[in-house]
Structure 1
Amino acid sequence: MKRGILTNSSFFCPTMMDFPFSYSLPSPIFNQKLTTWAHAHFRFLALFQGNDYQYPEEPFADFFFAGNQELTENEIWDKSVQKVKVGIIGYDFKNQIEQLESSNPAWLPLPDLCFFTPEISLKFEGDLVKSRTELPDDFWKQIESIEFTEYSTECNFRALITSQEYLEKVKKIQDLIIEGETYEMNFCQAFEGQFENWDPIGAFFKLQKASPMPFSALFKAREKWLVSASPERFLKKKGSKLIGQPIKGTIRRGSTPEEDIVNRSILIESEKERAENLMITDLTRNDLSKVSKVASVKVDELFGIYSLPRVFQMITTVSSELKENVSFKEIIQATFPMGSMTGAPKIRTMKLIEELESFKRGWFSGAFGWIDEAGDFDFSVIIRSIIADQKAKKLYFAVGSAITIDSDASKEYEECELKSQAIREILHGRSDS
């Protein structure tokens, strides 16, 4: 392996996400050692893991980024700032796009936009670590010398609404559907926890083992953390192609191969789940059309059924050809938040969500990802995720499902329990609900 000298200037690379320097992967736990080392040396870090899923348009590429430079809002949107940009668009950024507000209580204060530009950029491919810059011997020695200090990943948490209150809210939503106020709403409930010592890095790798996902991610922004096992892509841009992949439709995996076959069949044949998915597919098509060439929006796959560790998901892939010179900001303004986390019609339903939910979503149901210097990007939907603040010693997670006129409230509650199961296991806390 060729070694070099690591300097601040050596991190700059003007080309588009090239990784010309290759090194043999030192150990199976290199990612955990690398993340632990970066936590001690950088204010920001991000780890993306696609877990080798056979996913339409591919899962997350396996990237690692670390740096100290936070980007201003102007730098995030300005395409002349040709830097790799990594970070989060919080759900409440909706208020800067439409005439909306978020007045529900926030468990943690979180910025609507939080991006950094990396000084270290690595890509993992098989048994290789690829870097955008040459890495010296000292870098590898520092990583290999890391010894883990075991901190707890347990945290007692409480539900913000009881199961009975949840059932009553679903009934209210269905009354609103009858009144014509909405057709479908993604209603979410939140869980809040407090801790003395909680290890976000340990929690991420435990979650990876318990529930590896195509859009797994770990993000640190100073004292704030995202620990994510997301199954869903928000948007991906490759050249002039824009891709959206809404998920609507969930069923438990079977305990045997035979039960798996039955459950998969139940999901694909469910009129209710297909109707939910179709409504959000139409919404996604409409959103993409705002920034795409006429007649270029198409549904590449409708009602695709994909196997995840604990559930089958119904995923639709929509793509389009972008208009000339459309900016990242214009794309986000046309499509954010993702319809799978709002419902339809989007704006009216977001207003109703604000009335019926009991918490400020913050980063939950926002988007997390990266943008390269050429303007290509890949963003997940922040679901099946823990959001924590080590300084405040608090965390929260949330979970939701699509409520339609055909929804059975008790089954929707069970679906939420299923979706949050892996997080509950990692936190291993006592629910006070």
Structure 2
Amino acid sequence: MKITKLDYEIDSYSAYLQVKDKNTALLESSFMVKDTGDNSIIVFNPQFIVKYEKGHSYINNMLVEKDILKLLDELLMEKKPLNTGLVFDGGFVGYLSYDFGMEIMNVKNNNPINVNIPDVYFAYFEDFILIDHANKCTYICTEDEKVIEKIKGCLYINIDDKNCNRVILRSNFTKEEFKERVEGVREYIRCGDTYQVNISQQFLGEGSLNPHEVYTRFRKVNYGPYNAFLDLDGSYILSTSPEQFLRKRGNLITTRPIKGTVRKSLVYEENKALKEYLYSSEKCRSELLMIIDLERNDLSRICIPGTVKVESLFEVEEYATVNHLVSTIQGKLLKDISFSEIIKGTFPGGSITGAPKLRSMEVIDELENVSRGIYTGSIGYISNNGNFDLNIAIRTAVINDKGVYYNVGGGIVWDSDPEDEYEETLHKGRAIYKALTGKGE
């Protein structure tokens, strides 16, 4: 593998546009938070594609009679490190959908599917570009001299998104219907079925959209540490997620659940007061504590006993349009544990299901009237060197020939006020709404 190092950062999306094609991807970190957001990764020239849809596994559209996670395990064992010395050393880039998480948890999906994409999708790459934002340099890993020269001369490309088509968005719930769902969760909590449930509404905007123009808008208004652009040959996934699901470095596994949200103000003193309110909110703290307990339990299934620790309990972090309350939990993995065992023990992330996880997912299926698809699944990479990094697929949209789809939601507890919870979903989705409709500018 030829590695060309540039002693400067390049704009990750501009570089992606130089190599974009069917089944290419960009994992973009445009905002560093704590120890996330320090690398952007562009992958191109996929060698093969692994996917799972309608109960069957495929490699390059050829049926393979194997469990999809076991298939990924086998492929990961076959692939050898490229020895680039980088955090990503070639490997798989793709996603696990929430609907696949329901299958792992044996929760029947009773709702219609609006977005027809695979339940699991990973493409394998050995050609990639890594932009190290922390050290302000770029690595081009490819034998393709034309690509190397393109990237060396890559300047910031200003996509004209002023004429980007706009859509009219509609939700699968009216405001009153969403508030009824909040009350439905509170009733389950009153009966002792669950302690917290994440409920979302799905927005649909019909019409023809250029996904590259839309992503240009997304990254302007909702920069974050876990952005992504995936080309699935006809469908496109655009993510501006702030949340880490799982990150593996060596034998250390980390998760950073988010629970607790207030809007962000551009006025410093006002935003400082909002952050102080969030930090001291008993409701938000209790929400996060429930999920910390769940995540500690999940990590304990895959980690050496006694090694799972809460590294930070309540941290208020500032993002593009909101402030979040975040915790960091880490553990040391059991020796020789496989990727499939890690996913089966932890997926989907508890911060977007509720607690206890299984019962909360059953309630979600009952109260939400459409399948989530990729929303609250995970997007990221699995590297040849054993590292992986996966986000929680929130603030995430799918664009296809029919239009655009995305969900916004929040965790409901006994103290939740239906009106406030509805407004919180609008705050979380404000950047995407603005990018798609042009309103609020």
Bin the TM-score by the shorter chain.
0.7 to 0.9
Decide whether aligned partners of structure 1 residues 67 and 153 sit closer, same or farther in structure 2, where only a CA change above 3 A counts.
farther
Output one character per residue of 1:194-215: Cα deviation in whole Å (capped at 9) or x when no partner. Answer: 212x111121121111121111
- Secondary structure of the corresponding residue to residue 186 of structure 2: helix
Runs of 4+ more than 4 Å apart:
141-151
- Measured in 1, the distance between the counterparts of 2:146 and 2:7 equals 13
In the other structure, the counterpart of 1:413 is: 422
Match of 1:365 among 369, 376, 383: 376
RMSD across aligned positions (CA): 2.3
> Percent identity over the alignment?
30
* Contact kept in structure 2, 1:106 and 1:360, CA below 8 Å: yes
- Measured in 1, the distance between the counterparts of 2:71 and 2:18 equals 28
Output one character per residue of 1:270-300: Cα deviation in whole Å (capped at 9) or x when no partner. Answer: 1000000000000000000001001110000
Deviation at 1:135, TM superposition (A): 4.3
In the other structure, the counterpart of 1:193 is: 205
In the other structure, the counterpart of 2:353 is: 342
Is residue 49 from structure 1 mapped to residue 46 from structure 2 by the alignment? no
Is residue 58 from structure 1 mapped to residue 31 from structure 2 by the alignment? no
- Measured in 2, the distance between the counterparts of 1:308 and 1:148 equals 24
Match of 1:384 among 390, 395, 400: 395
Match of 2:16 among 17, 25, 35: 35
Output one character per residue of 1:136-168: Cα deviation in whole Å (capped at 9) or x when no partner. Answer: 146535986999686624222211110011111
Stretch moving more, 91-100 or 319-328: 91-100
Decide whether aligned partners of structure 1 residues 360 and 60 sit closer, same or farther in structure 2, where only a CA change above 3 A counts.
farther
Decide whether aligned partners of structure 1 residues 46 and 410 sit closer, same or farther in structure 2, where only a CA change above 3 A counts.
same
Stretch moving more, 114-123 or 395-404: 114-123
Decide whether aligned partners of structure 1 residues 340 and 60 sit closer, same or farther in structure 2, where only a CA change above 3 A counts.
farther
Match of 1:273 among 261, 284, 289: 284
- Secondary structure of the corresponding residue to residue 77 of structure 2: coil
Is residue 291 from structure 1 mapped to residue 298 from structure 2 by the alignment? no
Deviation at 1:36, TM superposition (A): 3.1
Is residue 241 from structure 1 mapped to residue 252 from structure 2 by the alignment? yes
* Contact kept in structure 1, 2:31 and 2:224, CA below 8 Å: no
- Measured in 1, the distance between the counterparts of 2:293 and 2:165 equals 40
- Measured in 2, the distance between the counterparts of 1:176 and 1:95 equals 20
* Contact kept in structure 2, 1:250 and 1:311, CA below 8 Å: yes
Decide whether aligned partners of structure 1 residues 52 and 134 sit closer, same or farther in structure 2, where only a CA change above 3 A counts.
farther
In the other structure, the counterpart of 2:187 is: 175
- Secondary structure of the corresponding residue to residue 217 of structure 2: helix
* Contact kept in structure 1, 2:101 and 2:377, CA below 8 Å: no
In the other structure, the counterpart of 2:111 is: 104
Which sections of structure 1, spanning at least 5 residues, go unmatched?
1-12, 14-18
- Measured in 1, the distance between the counterparts of 2:159 and 2:282 equals 50
* Contact kept in structure 2, 1:342 and 1:350, CA below 8 Å: yes
- Secondary structure of the corresponding residue to residue 80 of structure 1: helix
Is residue 93 from structure 1 mapped to residue 72 from structure 2 by the alignment? no
- State the TM-score, normalizing by the size of structure 1: 0.88
Deviation at 1:32, TM superposition (A): 3.9
Deviation at 1:120, TM superposition (A): 2.4
Is residue 202 from structure 1 mapped to residue 213 from structure 2 by the alignment? yes
* Contact kept in structure 2, 1:328 and 1:375, CA below 8 Å: no
> Amino acid of the residue matched to residue 78 of structure 2?
V
Is residue 166 from structure 1 mapped to residue 181 from structure 2 by the alignment? no
> Amino acid of the residue matched to residue 186 of structure 2?
Q
Stretch moving more, 96-105 or 149-158: 149-158
* Contact kept in structure 1, 2:31 and 2:223, CA below 8 Å: no
In the other structure, the counterpart of 2:4 is: 21
Deviation at 1:43, TM superposition (A): 1.9
In the other structure, the counterpart of 2:410 is: 401
- Measured in 2, the distance between the counterparts of 1:227 and 1:238 equals 26
- Measured in 2, the distance between the counterparts of 1:306 and 1:85 equals 30
* Contact kept in structure 1, 2:112 and 2:369, CA below 8 Å: yes
Output one character per residue of 1:344-383: Cα deviation in whole Å (capped at 9) or x when no partner. Answer: 1100110110000011000111000001112210000100
In the other structure, the counterpart of 2:64 is: none
* Contact kept in structure 1, 2:38 and 2:132, CA below 8 Å: no
- Measured in 1, the distance between the counterparts of 2:98 and 2:37 equals 22
> Amino acid of the residue matched to residue 408 of structure 1?
D
In the other structure, the counterpart of 1:5 is: none
- Measured in 2, the distance between the counterparts of 1:113 and 1:288 equals 22
Deviation at 1:75, TM superposition (A): 4.2
1:291-310 to structure 2, matched below 5 A, reads 291-310=302-321
Deviation at 1:24, TM superposition (A): 6.0
Which sections of structure 2, spanning at least 5 residues, go unmatched?
51-58, 60-67, 80-89
Deviation at 1:309, TM superposition (A): 2.0
> Amino acid of the residue matched to residue 94 of structure 1?
G
* Contact kept in structure 2, 1:218 and 1:228, CA below 8 Å: yes
Decide whether aligned partners of structure 1 residues 339 and 24 sit closer, same or farther in structure 2, where only a CA change above 3 A counts.
same
